[in-house]
Amino acid sequence: MTGTFLYKGIKFVSNVHTEESLNYAENEFAVQDDDIFNITYPKSGTNWMIEILNLIKYKGNAELSNQVPIYVRSPWYEIANSREQIAALTRPRIITSHLAHQLFAKSFFKSKAKIVYTMRNPKDIFVSSYHFSKIMNFYKDPTSFQDDLENFLQGNELFGSWFDHVKGWMQMKDDSRFFYITYEELLQDLRGCVVRICKFLEQDLDDAAIDSVVKHSTFKVMKDNKMANWSTVPSEVMDHSKGSIMRKGVSGDWKNHFTVAQSEYFDTFYKDQMKDFNVKLFWEDN
């Protein structure tokens, strides 16, 4: 595994990110008014949203989805080698980021660009991340489930604390440039979510186009699509023999991993961290 480093108190992967790339992302990156940002805490459904947004951009036409790797269609703009890929994007650019709100591009806040922010039950994020770290060579190897859980809760994770990420970004919840959604809503009613996202992006798609967006962004289709399932990532970066980023694609898998005590411990921590957060999130009621 490559090392990690702290940038303004948040942990990043060495080489994938650099001080320079993060400083560029925060202070120099020029946001364009028609940019669409796909922002998530890792393992919240980032790739799913890339697929949805790109299919909406092309009115349901899946040609590029079947030809260009998903991480090239909408690169993470904070990573060190993404500049050329970003420069090659056609407008409106669909750009991905895991950055915390306080590290995000300053030029965004003076622009008319838009953000789609996807959240997911943090217990499922933790489980997804635990498995992902076993296949990604630049992630740390998981130590033990319990130790990793503690790191997750304490925010000692890549891209920082989930709680801070959500609370930071959700300060924008009433901003007309900001749209938030959850992984669980996407699972429950993908079509309805696609319609809502189209409305936010002011994209007028007919029923057939919406059907096509939905069809090409289902778990099964993405899992089988080499351009969406990360099988194009070199094996020195990702050990494909150990698993896939398209792992289960369900909500509630945490129940197969957490003990009752771990779940209760998580809930107590969660309640304390989120006590002043006044938005009900999907998994809190379901």
* Residues engaged in binding ligand A3P (CB under 6 A): 40, 42-48, 124, 128, 131, 217-219, 222, 245-249, 253
Q: Measured from the CB of residue 174, what is the shortest distance to ligand A3P in angstroms? A: 25
Contact between 45 and 51 (Cβ < 8 Å): no
Residue 110 or 226: the one with the smaller Cβ distance to ligand A3P is: 226
Residue 128 or 212: the one with the smaller Cβ distance to ligand A3P is: 128
Q: Determine whether 165 is an active site residue.
A: no
Residue 92 or 249: the one with the smaller Cβ distance to ligand A3P is: 249
Q: What is the largest CA-CA distance in the chain?
A: 49
Q: Measured from the CB of residue 48, what is the shortest distance to ligand A3P in angstroms? A: 4
Q: How many residues does the chain have?
A: 286
Residue 201 or 222: the one with the smaller Cβ distance to ligand A3P is: 222
The 3 state secondary structure assigned to the chain is CCCEEEECCEEEEECCECHHHHHHHHHHCCCCCCCEEEEECCCCCHHHHHHHHHHHHCCCCCCHHHCCCHHHHCCECCCCCCHHHHHCCCCCCEEEECCCHHHCCHHHHHCCCEEEEEECCHHHHHHHHHHHHHHECCCCCCCCHHHHHHHHHHCCCECCCHHHHHHHHHHHCCCCCEEEEEHHHHHHCHHHHHHHHHHHHCCCCCHHHHHHHHHHCCHHHHHHCCCCCCCCCCCCCECHHHCCCCCCCCCCHHHHCCCHHHHHHHHHHHHHHCCCCCCCCHHHHC
Residue 83 or 247: the one with the smaller Cβ distance to ligand A3P is: 247
Q: Measured from the CB of residue 81, what is the shortest distance to ligand A3P in angstroms? A: 19
Q: Measured from the CB of residue 176, what is the shortest distance to ligand A3P in angstroms? A: 25
Q: Measured from the CB of residue 33, what is the shortest distance to ligand A3P in angstroms? A: 26
Indicate which residue of 98, 131, 165, 216 is catalytic.
98
Active site residues: 98
